[in-house]
Structure 1
Amino acid sequence: MANFNTHLNGAFMVSGVMSLTVYKAGLIDDSGFIMCVVLGTIGGLLPDLDSDNSTPIKLGFNLASFVFAFALVMHWRSELSLLALMALWLAGYGFMRYVVFYIFTTMTVHRGVIHSVPYMAILGLGLTYLSYFVLEISLTASWFYGLFLFGGAMVHLLLDEMYSVNLMGMRMKRSSGTAMKFYQHKDKWWYLLLYVILALLLYFAPPFESFWQQITDPAPWTKLKLGVLPTMIENRL
């Protein structure tokens, strides 16, 4: 399968090109462009969260542990003494970094249900929900954020499938078919749960019709077409 750098660079390049496209079409603003690149790149690392020793899972849990400890201290900063806050900080960090991390790695298997299309779709929709309903970001940006996170994850899965082919011998490796998964019979109950959650998220999702009408409107793409080539080249053509 592809390594960390391949996933990182692949997701960054694809999300960068796609973000520039919708940005030049006027569908997202400056901050939206940056967020789409970042989220697409993060999405390219998400499927390896089920790998106990992968760089994404270590970085992710380190960051989550810091954020959790910081949130605890900020919540209790007025009620507790300095020493108590220090102890709370260390306890919160240790709980997330070692206890929760151990439970997570024990319950997950590399290239299990996390390393699948429906799981990544749930994460993408979850981000759309968070952006639109909680953070109150615009409908268009919220959908783009979720789609870019999901798209980055699809780049990851596609790269893993590409690396499962032995091009020299023109044969499939043993890992073929274990990346871009929609279902595995041995995990049928987990997949049933995933698809139920996915169906509910789709049913109650932020209005997609308005988003679809905006991205299918010819005006943004006409604007993009006019700005594809440098002005000097366009004039010569």
Structure 2
Amino acid sequence: MANFNTHFNVAAVATGLAAATLLSAEHINLNTALGLWFLGTIGGLLPDIDSDNSTSLDIIFNLFAFSAVLIVLRYVSSDMISFVEFQQLSLLELIALPLVVYALMRYLVRPIFEKITVHRGSCHSLSFVLLIALFTTQIIWRLAPQTSEQTVIVAWLSGGFVFLGGVIHLTLDELYSVDLSNVTIKRSFGSALKLADFKNKSLTLVKVLSIAALAYTTPSPDQTINTLSDWSKLKLSPYSEMANSK
């Protein structure tokens, strides 16, 4: 299997190029591009959340804990909670809130997760990556201060970048299962890029039902598909931009 640095670097480069392409085509703005790049990079580490390697697990869970803190702070400062109520929070409360969220993620969620997961099990599958991608779409959509076509597009792109990063991770692990120098296939071949972990049927069923529920309640992707169908503004080089201006 590929190591942590390989997963991180390849996911960062690939999703960074994808975000830059969308930015160049004027589908998104710079802030959104940076956010998608971040999500795509996290997606590239996602399947190793059940890793037996403590270093990888520390880094991944720290990233997820940090993301959870940002989500909570975004919720607290959004229109869902009035500005007056937000202003009434004391300095200690503003400091304690992210610390409590981080502590819950690290010292409660992580130990439970480590206990119920097995490396290269249910989390190391396309179904798990799809589940987290749809969950990301839901979070971005529902936490937005207002619902608009652009919000829906950003929500779907966010989930798409998480999925892209996860697929890159699984593909790399599968490629590393083939020893090209001796043209042999390692015993780990087939354990990375799999649809689901059918050895754990109950957990797989829960994932399938969760995916169906999330897909059913997400906003329509039609506007996102229509937007991504138009690449007329894509600038491949400075010369193409000069040609279009003539």
Q: Which amino acid aligns with 2:236?
A: V
8 Å CA contact 2:47, 2:169 repeated in 1: yes
8 Å CA contact 1:164, 1:173 repeated in 2: yes
Computing the radius of gyration over CA atoms, which structure comes out larger, 1 or 2?
Answer: 1
| 2:191 matches 1:178 | yes
Q: Tell me the distance in 1 between the aligned counterparts of 2:164 and 2:98.
A: 36
Partner of 2:236: 228
Please, which runs of 5 or more residues in structure 1 have no aligned partner? none
Structural RMSD (CA) = 3.1
Q: Which amino acid aligns with 2:172?
A: L
Q: Which amino acid aligns with 1:223?
A: K
Q: Tell me the distance in 1 between the aligned counterparts of 2:179 and 2:6.
A: 17
| 2:115 matches 1:106 | yes
8 Å CA contact 1:65, 1:96 repeated in 2: no
Partner of 2:125: 116
Shift of 1:212: 1.1
Structure 2 residue matching 1:153: 3-state secondary structure: helix
Q: Which moved more, 1:50-59 or 1:208-217?
A: 50-59
Shift of 1:57: 2.2
Distance 1:233 1:93, change over 3 A: closer
Distance 1:170 1:29, change over 3 A: same
- The TM-score with structure 1 as length reference comes to 0.81
Matches within 5 A, 1:52-63: 52-62=52-62
Shift of 1:101: 2.7
Q: Which amino acid aligns with 1:30?
A: L
Distance 1:54 1:15, change over 3 A: farther
Which of 162, 166, 174 is the aligned partner of 2:175? Answer: 162
Q: Tell me the distance in 1 between the aligned counterparts of 2:102 and 2:131.
A: 27
Shift of 1:135: 2.4
Residues 58-81 of structure 1, C-alpha deviations (whole Å, 9 max, x = no match): 12434628977xx8xx99x86x9x
8 Å CA contact 1:132, 1:142 repeated in 2: yes
Q: Tell me the distance in 1 between the aligned counterparts of 2:102 and 2:20.
A: 38
Structure 2 residue matching 1:138: 3-state secondary structure: helix
Distance 1:110 1:145, change over 3 A: same
Please, which runs of 5 or more residues in structure 2 have no aligned partner? 77-85
8 Å CA contact 2:50, 2:118 repeated in 1: yes
Q: Tell me the distance in 2 between the aligned counterparts of 1:66 and 1:205.
A: 21
Residues 129-187 of structure 1, C-alpha deviations (whole Å, 9 max, x = no match): 11111224711111111100110111100000010001012121111111111133311
Q: Tell me the distance in 1 between the aligned counterparts of 2:125 and 2:181.
A: 27
| 2:154 matches 1:141 | yes
Identical columns (%): 39
Partner of 1:131: 140
Q: Which runs of 4+ in 1 moved over 4 A?
A: 65-68, 88-96, 232-235
Shift of 1:97: 3.3
Distance 1:162 1:107, change over 3 A: same
8 Å CA contact 2:42, 2:165 repeated in 1: yes
- The TM-score with structure 2 as length reference comes to 0.78
Q: Which moved more, 1:196-205 or 1:25-34?
A: 196-205
Structure 2 residue matching 1:42: 3-state secondary structure: helix
